[in-house]
Amino acid sequence: MQAVIMDAPRQARVGQWEARQPGEGEVLVRVRSVGVCAGDMYFYLGKNPYAVYPQVCGHEISGVVESLGEGVRGLSAGDHVVVEPFIGCGRCYACRIGKRNCCRRLQIIGIHRPGGFAEYVLAPAQNVHKIPESLPFERASLSEPIAIAVQASRRGQITAEDQVLVMGCGPIGLALIDVLSAKGAQVFATDINPARLDAASQLGARPLPGGEELPSRVSELTEGDGMPVVIEATGNPQAMRQAVDLVAPGGRVVIVGLVPQGVDVPMPGLDFTRKEMTILGSRASVNCFPEAIELLAGGKIRYADLATTFSLWDAPALFADWAQHPGSVQKAILRVD
């Protein structure tokens, strides 16, 4: 099959890749659309610590069931589907308590296994979710980032009564804003990039300037209380430290951003006790795809309106361009034509 192959850092090409037939419990999906994640760019740039080359990346996948392995139930050839990329071992403590997203031996389609930058992708049947045929493939491929936002919302136990500050308006930050707005929460957003703040406001967030002005603006908006919920989506250690400063006593901080491996985050120990805050990590998603699909199919998600669609076969040139001009598109979706 044809695929976009990462041969080495900053080396991507269209070429032939073996298309394996589904084994027991597996599904072969003909890819129709695949989103580009920051993780794909890290892989391209050689910054993903788990990268092994050559590989076919892409984990935000929608398509059509091509064929089924032995023992697969509930799916048929021709079904429109999305692929959940996270595969747990089923044996470790995290998997046993239902947190396969935190599996010690986690496998991710598009990182540890060949992904969706190809004509076909192979996945375990339990990772393949049916979608309505009325849901366009380009929108459906956003199920994975929307599921990440749903996971963070659940971790923070966010309701329509909450005020929430989202720190960082990159692709995941924007997905968070969209999901939280759909749930009826009052959402504020901050970023140092004006274009990203503008995108956040299009999704229903009230934009707040980043930097030195932010603490005073939050204090003014909350009558000195601080934000009931702060979601950190930048991966910047200083932003994580600031999230602790900005949250209200008794509030919740949800950490979604990924700090580079080996980088420490400075934290004020006294505030943990004085504020009695709750700090929660949120990793990927687990059991969130059905809700993400429902939100997308119900027309409650506007995030797709900010995306730009390209042909998958132009990806090598696009990756090279995006490496030189990061942030030139809010969200990229690649269609397989």
Q: Which domain holds residue 155?
A: 149-281
Query: What are 160-214's pLDDT values in tens digits?
Result: 999 999 999 999 999 999 999 999 999 999 999 999 999 999 999 999 988 889 9
Task: Please tell me whether residues 259 and 322 are part of one structural domain.
Answer: no
Task: Please tell me whether residues 257 and 311 are part of one structural domain.
Answer: no
Task: Please tell me whether residues 167 and 227 are part of one structural domain.
Answer: yes
Six-digit token string for 62: 């929608």
Express as a percent the part of the chain with pLDDT over 90.
Answer: 91
Residue at 309 is within a domain: yes
Task: Please tell me whether residues 173 and 229 are part of one structural domain.
Answer: yes
Task: Please tell me whether residues 111 and 240 are part of one structural domain.
Answer: no
Query: What are 287-322's pLDDT values in tens digits?
Result: 999 999 999 999 999 999 999 999 999 999 999 999
Task: Please tell me whether residues 177 and 246 are part of one structural domain.
Answer: yes
Instruction: With a cut of 90, say whether residue 273 has pLDDT above it.
Output: no
pTM, rounded to two decimals: 0.96
Average pLDDT over residues 63-72: 98
Residue at 288 is within a domain: no
Answer with the residue of higher pLDDT: 336 or 259: 336
Residue in the block written with tokens 């809700």: 291
Task: Please tell me whether residues 188 and 261 are part of one structural domain.
Answer: yes
The number of folded domains in the chain is: 2
Task: Please tell me whether residues 22 and 153 are part of one structural domain.
Answer: no
